[in-house]
Structure 1
């Protein structure tokens, strides 16, 4: 996957929708009518601060007049698949229509018969290595793993995984949750393993577990979920997440306290998330319309506004439809130029390794 700066134009955010409308096919009137007849879309695991989803959801509602029922915004990828399984045959409000999961969860969900195929009208501009050939799942956006630092507590923010072992960071370093249930947390452990010299796959994940076990034994690791509230209060003054989530959190805190967002110098790990429609979606047409919106230029730019690199970034950059102001808000391009994109087999190995070893090594259930 490559990042390009070709074709940049200086445009206002308000202007991009006009350009986008001419660049990509609109969904059919038949699909729009069928989705409106269903009247609702049920999402899951979409926090409003994640990737700009708050504005993206509102824009979809405003454009099509369809109610969006939002389930468990803080769920992890594994929770999403369980929600589909638990609601087979349920047409009520607890059955999700669409999923947004880590890359490795896409093939798993397909194998388990949890997804239905659908190819959006912009299908050809989605990179081939980021989509299922049959349309069961496809990449939506990506970012890189980083950590946030409360600068009131640590004015000189550490810049690497290695530095986090220093005694000055006692009772300071946290993960966002349990790496066995959340893709972003698993990838933080994976990145630590790469920094420790691990080979891609299970070896990196196991070396990452060893890294966090060492932090726990030295007293640097805090067994509390990292969050905006906890970083502000100093409970978890350093915690890991995707760069786009950390940047949105930094903006929300607005300097109270000041926060640095660091992409570690010793491991730049990128993560692709994928979008899919549940095989048991109660509102299949609304789900398809949602997908069409997300993969339109307008939807992709909504994610970019939330600091995520949309999967069609290169296509839109080459056509010159990305506002310069959105590009200027992103982290430095070199952060992405150094990024490693773990493959599906490597992520699958990592999932197996974290499930097998995290609990026993870290002393947790």
Structure 2
């Protein structure tokens, strides 16, 4: 499947799924209540575009004056965020404070609520679909300069949230420690006892949610019926194969989690460090999804938060996402106008056949089922 075909598939529904995080406890410092006033006379926290600052140069000036940006739940190996953070900081001379990179989407929201009014609160969010759509009242509408190039299916019309990057659910495994995984049902075999991990809690993390959905499809379920996926994980736990451990690069490289259900780009990052790590996207049960980018309406650094969005959706930021093995949301437009790095575009994953992306309604229904049944199934 080509990049444009994936976009057409995804645009048939509102796309879905994962990132994560939490900010550590800090003294109750008070952040700026809205930031400096822009050229148009509104507070930085109320600016809905760079034009409110008087243009990009003035936005850059305001962000540099703040000097800092708080991000959360952005692992360096996830979607190339390590390189993205460095590029942003180097370009603008802004210090990026990255908190709890391995936390969940729900943790991001919890941190924003717990640290509201403090200088350490997250400025921006990167969220799975279910958590994002449940918390839109916490987001500040903002339209980046490339907003019109983002397909309508991947953004709120007012810029309250915008999808940033997408990928496919996959199974990663260490071929030096376990037999090749040819499909989901292999994971129930004795050879995988104590070896299978899911990236997070599906009631809180987008990657885990999509992992359960992928498994559900393999068991005869659908985006409307995730129950077979929960039942499979119950059997996996009963067989002693399911690990109650959130996988990380460290657990993968140490051999603690030799089989991991996670996004293809996260699993693929491990192949650069562990030659025996193999990634499989089950072709008959492919699940795809986009993450949601948003600005915290109570961001302590509102100008820097808006400049971060501009950077992520610029040609530079989108190419950096693509280098991380994810499909940036502007990929099709950039490929058409020649601004997407051809070598990077050619390396993006291809899936032939049907791809499932849950709608917001299906995600809400599945989230309710998971909230009521997941803990009982896996203990």
State the 4+ residue runs in structure 1 displaced beyond 6 angstroms. none
Unaligned runs of 5+ in 2: 6-50
Unaligned runs of 5+ in 1: 6-24
Contact 2:234 2:378 in 1 (8 A): yes
Alignment of 1:1-365 (within 5 A): 3-4=3-4, 28-90=56-118, 92-93=119-120, 95-110=121-136, 113-154=137-178, 156-201=179-224, 203-204=225-226, 206-253=227-274, 255=275, 258-331=276-349, 333-334=350-351, 338-363=354-379
Distance of 1:277 and 1:226 partners within structure 2:
28
Contact 2:156 2:162 in 1 (8 A): yes
Contact 2:284 2:354 in 1 (8 A): no
Deviation string, structure 1 residues 208-260 (Cα, Å, up to 9, x no partner): 1101111111222222222333333332211111011111122133x2xx111
The residue matched to 1:334 in structure 2 has which SS? coil
The residue matched to 2:295 in structure 1 has which SS? strand
TM-score between both structures, scaled by the size of structure 1: 0.86
Distance of 1:161 and 1:240 partners within structure 2:
10
Distance of 1:102 and 1:37 partners within structure 2:
31
Distance of 1:264 and 1:67 partners within structure 2:
40
Aligned residues: CA RMSD: 2.0
TM-score between both structures, scaled by the size of structure 2: 0.83
Select the structure with the greater relative contact order (CA < 8 A; seq sep ≥ 6).
Answer: 1
Farther off after superposition, 295-304 or 226-235 = 226-235
Kindly tell me the number of residue pairs found equivalent between the two proteins.
332
Deviation string, structure 1 residues 243-297 (Cα, Å, up to 9, x no partner): 11111122133x2xx1110111331101210100001001111111100000001
Farther off after superposition, 282-291 or 173-182 = 173-182
Distance of 1:301 and 1:170 partners within structure 2:
40
Distance of 1:67 and 1:233 partners within structure 2:
32
Contact 1:226 1:240 in 2 (8 A): no
Q: Partner residue of 1:21?
A: none
Deviation string, structure 1 residues 18-59 (Cα, Å, up to 9, x no partner): xxxxxxx99611111111111111111111111000111111
